[in-house]
Structure 1
Amino acid sequence: MAELTTDLKLQERTYESKTYKLSNEKIEGFVDDLEALKQSIYKALLTEQYEHPIYSFDYGIAWKELIGEDRAYVRAETKRMIQEALLHDSRITDVDQFAFIFEGDTCTCTFNVTSKYGMFEIETEVQI
């Protein structure tokens, strides 16, 4: 007879380095390593957190929380939210060197990502 136990085994999420290549909203082959990581980053940055039941609550960024906030708050929260969203990925070791440009109700944020494939720059826009 099988015995019931309360043993729980946790597994850390790992990320694959090969994925479909998205180009002009079409799948065109595969990408891997650095290009797959960049695609993963942009996808996380473009996904509004909590809005899509297919994703866990820790995926994406809650950009809507920044609407109407002052610039100092937007800088601090954007940095925090991006770091939290991206550092879940085991391929990424650091997210830093944030720079912000404000034009009207748009904030352009540039930052560096250090990964196992090297360092590169990412840029994203936030409506505030």
Structure 2
Amino acid sequence: MIPEEIIDAELEVIEDIETTKTYRLTDINIQGFTDELKALQQAIYKVLNTEKYEYPIYSFAYGIELESLIGKDPIYVQIELQRRIQECLLQDERITGVDNFQCTVTGDSLLCRFDVTSIYGNTTIMKEVSV
């Protein structure tokens, strides 16, 4: 049976905000949950320690390509590392900026320190790579 009267209904769109709650990783195990800035710091750590194109479980857009920098001139590595870090981190919609890079070369390693601005606040990250 088809209704003969027209039903006037308005749909209300409610914007869902995705939760950032995730498992909390420690040095040796997964214990409890974390969210917001701590969850974002975990995500940054994970993406910066995953070699791009290496693991078939991740898309080609995930991770950072660092192996190709080994053996290169430290000045080139410093410039390229900044670009690659910004490129991989700015894919995350929670991150609004990556800047204030400070790099130090010690022997055959380069330590890069930088600030990440996000919707949850600011954090300072360090990443060491072989040169």
| Short-chain TM bin | 0.7 to 0.9
* TM-score, length-scaled by structure 2: 0.84
* TM-score, length-scaled by structure 1: 0.86
Query: One-letter code of the match for 2:53?
Result: Y
RMSD: 1.3
Unaligned runs of 5+ in 2: 1-16
Unaligned runs of 5+ in 1: 1-13
Query: Is 1:83 matched with 2:57?
Result: no
Hey, what's the Cα distance between the residues in 1 that align with 2:18 and 2:102? 28
Counterparts in 2 of 1:16 and 1:57: CA distance versus 1, 3 Å? farther
Identity %: 52
Q: Which runs of 4+ in 1 moved over 2 A?
A: none
SS at match of 2:60: coil
SS at match of 1:121: strand
Map residues 1-128 of structure 1 onto 2, 5 A cutoff: 16-128=19-131
Higher Cα radius of gyration: 2
CA contact (8 A) 1:93 1:114 kept: yes
Hey, what's the Cα distance between the residues in 2 that align with 1:125 and 1:86? 16
Query: One-letter code of the match for 1:21?
Result: R
Hey, what's the Cα distance between the residues in 2 that align with 1:15 and 1:66? 36
